Structure 1
Amino acid sequence: MAHPAQLGFQDAASPIMEELLHFHDHALMIIFLISTLVLYIIVVMASTTLTDLYTLDSQEVEIIWTVLPAITLTLIALPSLRILYLMDEINDPHLTIKAMGHQWYWSYEYTDYEDLGFDSYMIPTQELVPGQFRLLDTDHRMVVPTQSPVRLLISAEDVLHSWAVPSLGVKMDAVPGRLNQATFIVARNGVFYGQCSEICGANHSFMPIVVEAVPLEHFENWSSLMLEDA
């Protein structure tokens, strides 16, 4: 959960998000080094050593400013591709959930269970109780077990939506007539908040996402209670 005056990302709650944070720091350091080098060159440009005709026409300088960017791009591209492939891997998911975007709420269907599904609406401000977050809490949370691979099938019924939870490193567009999928593993217990990240209409800011991660035995108890109430 973000807090006032926070700088940087939310704490990672999944292995993918941890990888994304490491990659962010890696790329930021490369950008810092490039910026420092460019600033140094600008500062010393007034000297004749960098502006005389011999230096500007030097073959060595041509080689340096061709090879260095190539190396820099390689250092950024390799870890980036690795994370992209990790995000696409789906190895024997323990649970599959279908998330459907509507104007303006989400509905969830646990496809491994018969008749386990519900709509998730934002709790109006006047109905909030102490401890709940305005514009973020919902009447029904998407409950998942921790330390278990979860496959999320995402689509929309009307317009474009986007299912995004920053702490889990998941952001996937919900497109009408198309089924996208994402996978994640929640590493720790907790409640993680997200919002629709696609401008989907007048009430776009009123369709939050709440994921509650609990131990497996608690998830089984929750699913049994939900099936009894269905």
Structure 2
Amino acid sequence: MKKFAAGLGALSLSASSAVAAQPEPWEMRFQEAATGIMEEITWFEEYTLWFIVPIVLLVMALLAWCMLRYRSSANPVPSRTSHNTLIEVLWTVGPVIVLLFLAIPSFQLLTRQYTPDEEPAMTIKATGVQWYWDYEYQDQENPLNFTSLMLQEGDRASAGKENTAEYPRLLAVDNELVVPVNTTVRVLVTASDVIHAFAMPSFGIKVDAVPGRINETWFKAEREGLYYGQCSELCGKDHAFMPIAIRVVSQDQYQTWYAAARQDLTGANRALMASIGSGKDEDKVAAAE
């Protein structure tokens, strides 16, 4: 019985992790972090709440006190006090201290976002087009480029992507961007027509794609999985139908996929999906036992 319960728990955990990297209904917080940068962003958001919440409550309390204490019926003769030195010092020094506590970690986080811990092992160019993404793996010896379009509902069966939990409507694509886990990836972002934006919430990256200009960002995914983002700059009538999908796999799976994708991208994607599916099945059997 215990093994059965443990197996159910593992299966439920596996199912939840499959959908953890996409927007959820009524989601109020960030998506689960898949990179160190996103973990730092999440920490900073929680850190700032320790300042924001007390300040909001204090201001609300002061407003309520002033409205009740100094209303015309309770205070028919208004005060003619022009200033109070102590209060003016407090409301000048207090905000300065708060801003320092916010500014220092925010500057540190901003520096981290622009400074990888190591030299990127690979470079990918992402070009925004109305309304899809072109990807180019900038390997001098074995370059690879392809287009990533939103998956149409009628193409799910032929693509082997009928599971809407893993390949959600309006977020799934025909060709995912595939990268190896625990690898620093440089992303060069540009556009061919209008301004777009390359955004991946679980990675903590969001950068504008501007025609005639190349912006640079980077990420290092620490967990395997399929992650979804979207164009985050209004770019025309199909702006809402321009998703980004990044599949993070093991080093061996990536090397096998990349070698095959240069000859047959569709076949390489199918083989990769099959290898990931067989791995999940083995994990489920092991958990059930």
Match of residue 37, structure 1, among 43, 49, 58:
58
Per the TM alignment, residue 59 of structure 1 is displaced from its structure 2 partner at its CA by: 1.4
Between structures 1 and 2, the one with greater strand share = 1
Quote the residue 1:87 is aligned against.
113
Quote the residue 2:254 is aligned against.
219
Quote the residue 2:186 is aligned against.
151
Note the alpha carbon deviations across 1:156-179, whole angstroms, 9 max, x for none: 111111110111111110001001
Rounded to whole Å, the distance in 1 between the matches of 2:24 and 2:184 is: 28
Quote the residue 1:120 is aligned against.
148
Q: Are 1:62 and 2:97 matched, yes or no?
A: no
Larger radius of gyration: 2
Per the TM alignment, residue 187 of structure 1 is displaced from its structure 2 partner at its CA by: 1.1
| Root mean square deviation of aligned Cα | 1.7
Per the TM alignment, residue 203 of structure 1 is displaced from its structure 2 partner at its CA by: 1.4
Q: Are 1:198 and 2:233 matched, yes or no?
A: yes
Q: Which amino acid aligns with 2:37?
A: I
Q: Which amino acid aligns with 2:121?
A: H
Per the TM alignment, residue 126 of structure 1 is displaced from its structure 2 partner at its CA by: 2.2
Quote the residue 1:2 is aligned against.
23
Percentage of matched positions with identical amino acids: 39
Quote the residue 1:174 is aligned against.
209
Q: Which amino acid aligns with 1:40?
A: A
Per the TM alignment, residue 53 of structure 1 is displaced from its structure 2 partner at its CA by: 5.7
Q: Which amino acid aligns with 2:92?
A: T
The two structures have a TM-score, normalised by structure 1, of 0.93
Rounded to whole Å, the distance in 2 between the matches of 1:199 and 1:43 is: 41
Match of residue 110, structure 1, among 122, 137, 140:
137
Q: Secondary structure at the match of 1:155?
A: strand
Q: Which amino acid aligns with 2:115?
A: E
Rounded to whole Å, the distance in 1 between the matches of 2:58 and 2:241 is: 45
Quote the residue 1:142 is aligned against.
177
Between structures 1 and 2, the one with greater helix share = 2
Rounded to whole Å, the distance in 2 between the matches of 1:222 and 1:212 is: 11
Q: Secondary structure at the match of 2:262?
A: helix
Q: Secondary structure at the match of 1:198?
A: coil
Rounded to whole Å, the distance in 1 between the matches of 2:224 and 2:110 is: 25
Per the TM alignment, residue 8 of structure 1 is displaced from its structure 2 partner at its CA by: 1.1
Q: Which amino acid aligns with 1:97?
A: I
Rounded to whole Å, the distance in 1 between the matches of 2:199 and 2:180 is: 18
Rounded to whole Å, the distance in 2 between the matches of 1:94 and 1:115 is: 15
Unmatched 5+ stretches in structure 2: 1-21, 71-77, 157-161, 266-289
What number of residue pairs does the alignment pair up? 227
Note the alpha carbon deviations across 1:109-152, whole angstroms, 9 max, x for none: 11025231111011112223233211111110000111111100
Per the TM alignment, residue 57 of structure 1 is displaced from its structure 2 partner at its CA by: 2.8
Quote the residue 1:19 is aligned against.
40
Q: Which amino acid aligns with 1:42?
A: L
Per the TM alignment, residue 47 of structure 1 is displaced from its structure 2 partner at its CA by: 4.4
Q: Are 1:161 and 2:189 matched, yes or no?
A: no
The two structures have a TM-score, normalised by structure 2, of 0.74
Per the TM alignment, residue 52 of structure 1 is displaced from its structure 2 partner at its CA by: 5.5
Q: Which amino acid aligns with 1:41?
A: L
